Amino acid sequence: EGMHGSYTVGTSGQEDFKSIKEAVDALGNGIDGPVEFLLSDGNYHEAVMIPEVTGSSELNTITMRSASGKRDNVVITYDVYKDPGSSHYDQRYGVFTLDGVDYFTLKDLTVATDKTIFPGILFIRNSSRHDKVENCVIRSPQSTDQGKGSTQVYMYSKNEANRNSDYFTLKDCLIDGGLIGVNLGGTAYVSLPVQEGGHIAGNTFVRQGSKAIYVSAERDFVIENNTVISEGGTTNSFWAI
């Protein structure tokens, strides 16, 4: 029997799971209905990785959100990054990584770091499709270093067929800091299918060092009703989009 239903996460001793990792590990046997993880208020010092989950679908979705519905009350934060090296580019990760999971929603919370060492604070890879990030804060220090600065929401696809993360939605979020706000797109190899269906809507981008929204190798995408605020301290050339 797969997992289904609503579960609580926190450290008070009253919740179903004491850490996000413990909750994610429980998905290992798959799901047979919608699953919701409600995070109690507090700071979660974890690097979170959500793998492919058997049984996830348009009906059997997975949601992780703050129990209070207040995005400042739950903070997922991590400050240690070990670079796997250029020969293992596909193994790079973020504070929060979507690693092949479909129909996953992250909602009403904050993902943050005090470092500029992560390639992406929210990192999306390995055919993570139909995923949504809604009413979240993605935050790190501003960077103007083109070689080291982080991208707040970063998508990576191997140059192989069917490895794009199609139909990603970023909605009503505060994207704060970094070098680039969001990098939307998949593989750029002309012989491979282009990533599609991205939706960037209603977000506020502030304190990026170079670009707020960067789109490459993506088709049939929608960018609408976003606000970009540049407060100085940027590179010589700053692009909103």
Consecutive 10-residue averages of pLDDT for the chain (241 residues): 95 96 97 98 98 97 98 98 80 96 98 95 96 98 82 90 91 97 87 90 96 94 96 74 90
Specify the pLDDT at position 163: 85
Specify the pLDDT at position 172: 98
Asked if residues 180 and 214 have their Cβ atoms less than 8 Å apart, the reply is yes
Specify the pLDDT at position 114: 96
* pLDDT, tens digit, 9 for 90 and up, residues 144-169: 877 777 899 999 988 877 789 999 99
Name the nearest CA neighbour of 155 among 204, 190, 194, 201: 194
Rounded-to-integer distance, Cα 150 and Cα 155, Å? 12
In sequence order, what are the beta bridge partners of 182?
A: 153, 213
Specify the pLDDT at position 85: 79
| Lateral strand order in the sheet of 31-39 | 3-9, 31-39, 62-66, 104-107, 132-134, 169-171, 199-201, 222-224
